[in-house]
């Protein structure tokens, strides 16, 4: 996902944040593939009290559901 895609699926400002821990992105990064982890949630990610909300689950489902259609659109070459 790139920064051009986010405004199509997210109404709120997007902040870059790092969360330490495992995940698929860690494996991809190790294999030389630059991943992006993206998701709505709470400030408790990767903590011992980690939880999410129903609203965050719904927002993630809507956002992820929109991405395949956005990636299928043709892009023009820069320059």
Taking only the tens place, the pLDDT of each residue in 51-75 is 899 999 999 899 889 888 887 877 6
6-72 has CATH 1.10.150 classification: yes
CB-based contacts of 2, cutoff 8 Å, min separation 6: 36
Confidence (pTM)? 0.55
Predicted pLDDT of residue 43: 80
Write down the domain spans for the chain.
6-72
Integer Cα distance of 70 and 39 in angstroms: 17
Taking only the tens place, the pLDDT of each residue in 14-48 is 666 655 556 778 888 889 888 877 788 888 877 78
Confidence of residue 78 (pLDDT cuts 50, 70, 90): low
More confident site: 77 or 35: 35
């Amino acid at each position: 996902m790139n920064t051009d895609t986010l405004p199509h699926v997210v109404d709120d400002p997007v902040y870059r944040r790092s969360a330490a821990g495992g995940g698929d992105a860690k494996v991809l990064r190790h294999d030389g593939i630059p991943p992006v982890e993206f998701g709505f949630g709470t400030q408790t990610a990767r903590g011992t009290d980690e939880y999410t909300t129903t609203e965050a689950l719904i927002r993630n489902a809507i956002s992820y559901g929109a991405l395949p259609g956005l990636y299928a659109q043709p892009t023009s070459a820069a320059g």
